[in-house]
Structure 1
């Protein structure tokens, strides 16, 4: 497993130092380096990134500004020369916090934590039965077949399951990637349904568990084909 990583730091020397550590690590793949957060924001949007090594102290648009601006935030390891940023860092749900100068042992401990986190978030067991999601700062296991539908909720998504609702900080696009394509289908910009739970549908709605969910016009044929193969 290699986490696709980027480095954001306005110091060329610091970027070079972190790049050496990243390139030498068997579980990391360096995708890009950025000298400022604004440039990086565009790069994060255009690429699939798993991990950001982020310097806090940058002019104009600092590390915390960048974190607040991201809709779909990858894992983040913050780097700073000021230890008093540590508490604030964890308010943003970062994976870890590295204090300059970075030691190899501390770097490797941070990466180990990021790899473990990645494994838990994206883990789908061989039998395809469950995934792990983070809700209320805790990881919880969700059995795929228990999910009736997934609903967009601003910056969050809501998993409607047999046992109740689970609210997760995620975009629909990001969460959709974790679901098996043969079992789930995005039928509307705000809804993903479990195909096995679909009871009936017409040109405007899909009925799941007695609830009518809107169906986008351009998804009707895709839904009919998907249900035929379930």
Structure 2
């Protein structure tokens, strides 16, 4: 198994250094290296890219801007000389965050995380349905979409409530919402995203999932009714 990789850094020296590390790794295949977001975006749209080594501070568009413009993202390892962006990187489900100057040992550890994550996703049983990976307690966990009841804002984290257990993930609600399949989940309140298929009943104030009442923001009843394709109660 080799991961197709793209290196993005506006510094020629840093880009060459990182590209060399990718080229020398037996499990990586370098398909491109770029100095800006525009060229990178074109590559991702036209080639299979499994792993992106991404600088953050770049002219015109930052690494975050690049990711915001992608509908489907490869796995991401951020590479930066600053630690300021590490927290925000979690919002993009980053595999790892590498500090410049790079060392081969630290680079290899980050790559191994990506390889493990890719293999987990590849080996997932098809009959269990769709799933996503979340990072909780420093571990990458597979969470099946069908088992999620709702997602709740929890400070700088989101709490994923499933049929079996709960997970606390460092993320914003907006970022996590983008990872969920459209049409199956609805943000009904600034602090709640619900699995539409889990709703037992609802009115103008609450949606009930099991024994829990999830608050609805004003005017969300009609949107929820449309999503369920039936009139509200």
Q: TM-score, normalised by structure 1?
A: 0.64
Equivalent pair of 1:2/1:29 in contact (CA under 8 Å): yes
Equivalent pair of 1:7/1:52 in contact (CA under 8 Å): no
Task: Give 1:97's match in structure 2, choosing from 95, 99, 106.
Answer: 106
Equivalent pair of 1:156/1:167 in contact (CA under 8 Å): yes
Any idea what SS the aligned residue of 2:200 has? strand
Cα root mean square deviation, aligned? 4.1
Identify the residue that residue 12 of structure 1 maps to in structure 2.
12
Identify the residue that residue 75 of structure 1 maps to in structure 2.
95
Identify the residue that residue 179 of structure 1 maps to in structure 2.
180
Q: In structure 2, do the counterparts of structure 1 residues 215 and 46 end up closer, same or farther at CA, with 3 Å as the change threshold?
A: same
Q: TM-score, normalised by structure 2?
A: 0.63
Task: Give 1:23's match in structure 2, choosing from 20, 27, 31.
Answer: 31
Equivalent pair of 2:185/2:195 in contact (CA under 8 Å): yes
Separation (CA, whole Å) in 1 of partners of 2:217 and 2:125: 31
Trace 1:1-230 onto structure 2 (pairs within 5 A).
Answer: 7-8=8-9, 11-18=11-18, 22-24=30-32, 27=49, 40=62, 43=65, 46-48=68-70, 50-56=75-81, 62=82, 64-70=83-89, 72-73=91-92, 74-76=94-96, 78=98, 80-81=100-101, 97-98=106-107, 111=111, 113-118=113-118, 120=120, 126-127=126-127, 128=129, 130-228=131-229
Shift of 1:150: 0.9
Separation (CA, whole Å) in 2 of partners of 1:166 and 1:68: 18
Shift of 1:185: 2.0
Separation (CA, whole Å) in 1 of partners of 2:51 and 2:86: 21
> Unaligned stretches of 5+ in structure 2?
23-29, 34-47
Separation (CA, whole Å) in 1 of partners of 2:5 and 2:50: 6
Q: In structure 2, do the counterparts of structure 1 residues 179 and 45 end up closer, same or farther at CA, with 3 Å as the change threshold?
A: closer
Q: In structure 2, do the counterparts of structure 1 residues 17 and 163 end up closer, same or farther at CA, with 3 Å as the change threshold?
A: closer
> Unaligned stretches of 5+ in structure 1?
57-61, 87-95, 99-105
Aligned residues: 202
